[in-house]
């Protein structure tokens, strides 16, 4: 069945987490670009890779002129100052980043990042001309306790309260159930679709009617070359945030090609 037109933008973003030196990252980026150039099947889907901070410059250089975007995995909300170990959004933009992942579950649950901090970072990313990929998702205990909707509504409402519709449309959201990240346990298409619909309805309520259907929402959590096409066949899933499978050029390319 043909997808409805106009379609929301599609994006497949690779989250490299704490993997790859500058040299290793540049090599992986070049390998991916060569695959993309040899097979234009992935055209029609935007692709981004998000290396660790230290590899951004080298990977950005390898991606120059290729159309593959560069993204970072986190940023600080302030523009500059005494924040040892932190990186400002303007610094990411200056090194060539187009995207920044915000509120990843490994930061929310591993580093204690709060809804309030994610909201501040979202505004800061927009100020610094970065496209935020705002991550939301429930823990296994929350899903089993019937709290998935409550968690998604809380995380989305906290991040988007006060933003206008035009600004909201420029952002990207990633639904990443925490129990699916790095576990090999991918959400079913129905689970992802239902969560994406909750997110869209929450955007309608928080920002304004109709906005929810216009924002690109990615699914993340154990996406691989074998399950991507099934997920992307669901109209509410506009792409993927990919961890493990983005560390290998061939599997990441297959995922991008499946999203076209
Ligand atoms: P995974 O990670 O694809 O390895 O499950 C996804 C993510 O953390 O964004």
> 27 alpha carbon to ligand 1 midpoint, in Å?
21
pLDDT digits (tens, 9 = 90+) for 158-193: 999 999 999 999 999 999 999 999 999 999 999 999
Residue 104 makes CB contacts below 8 A (sequence gap 6+) with 15, 73, 74, 135, 176
Phi, psi of 131 (to 5 degrees): -90, 115
CA nearest to 177, candidates 157, 203, 155: 155
**Rounded CA separation 205/212 (Å):** 9
pLDDT band at 156 (very low <50, low <70, confident <90, very high): very high
What distance, in Å, lies between the first and last C-alpha atoms of the chain?
14
pLDDT digits (tens, 9 = 90+) for 201-210: 999 999 998 9
Instruction: State the pTM of this model.
Output: 0.96
Decide whether any atom of ligand 1 lies within 6 Å of the 177 Cβ: no
> 219 alpha carbon to ligand 1 midpoint, in Å?
10
pLDDT digits (tens, 9 = 90+) for 209-238: 899 999 999 999 999 999 999 999 999 999
Least confident stretch, 33-47, 72-86, 123-137, 240-254: 33-47
Please name the residue that has the structure tokens 């089993």: 144
Give the CA distances from residue 208 to residues 116, 204, 212, in Å, rounded to whole numbers and listed in that order. Answer: 21, 5, 8
* Protein residue with its CA nearest to atom 1 in ligand 1: 243
CA dihedral 66, 72, 76, 78 (to 10 degrees): 0
pLDDT band at 44 (very low <50, low <70, confident <90, very high): confident
Q: Is the pLDDT of residue 75 over 80?
A: yes
Is 86 a residue of the active site? no
- The number of CA neighbours under 13 Å toward the Cβ of 6 is 5
Is 104 a residue of the active site? yes
Q: Is the pLDDT of residue 3 over 80?
A: no
């Amino acid at each position: 069945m043909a997808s409805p037109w106009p379609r929301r933008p599609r994006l497949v973003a690779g989250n490299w987490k704490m993997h790859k030196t500058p040299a290793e990252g540049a090599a992986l980026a070049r390998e991916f670009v060569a695959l993309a150039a040899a097979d234009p099947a992935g055209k029609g889907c935007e692709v981004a890779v998000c290396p660790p901070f230290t590899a951004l410059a080298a990977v950005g250089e390898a991606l120059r002129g290729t159309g593959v975007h560069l993204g970072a995995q986190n940023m600080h909300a302030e523009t500059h100052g005494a924040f040892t170990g932190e990186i400002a959004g303007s610094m990411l933009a200056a090194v060539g980043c187009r995207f920044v992942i915000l509120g990843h579950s490994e930061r929310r649950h591993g580093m204690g990042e709060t809804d309030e901090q994610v909201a501040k970072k979202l505004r800061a990313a927009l100020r610094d001309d970065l496209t935020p990929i705002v991550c939301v998702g429930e823990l296994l205990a929350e899903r089993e306790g019937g709290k998935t909707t409550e968690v998604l509504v809380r995380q989305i409402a906290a991040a988007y309260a006060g933003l206008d519709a035009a600004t909201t449309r420029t952002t990207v959201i990633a639904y990443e159930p925490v129990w699916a990240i790095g576990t090999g346990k991918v959400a079913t298409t129905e689970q992802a679709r239902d969560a994406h619909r909750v997110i869209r309805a929450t955007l309608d309520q928080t920002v304004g009617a109709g906005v929810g259907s216009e924002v690109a929402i990615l699914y993340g959590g154990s996406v691989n070359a074998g399950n991507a096409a099934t997920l992307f066949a669901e109209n509410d899933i506009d792409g993927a945030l990919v961890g493990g499978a983005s560390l290998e050029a061939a599997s990441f390319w297959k995922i991008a090609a499946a999203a076209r």
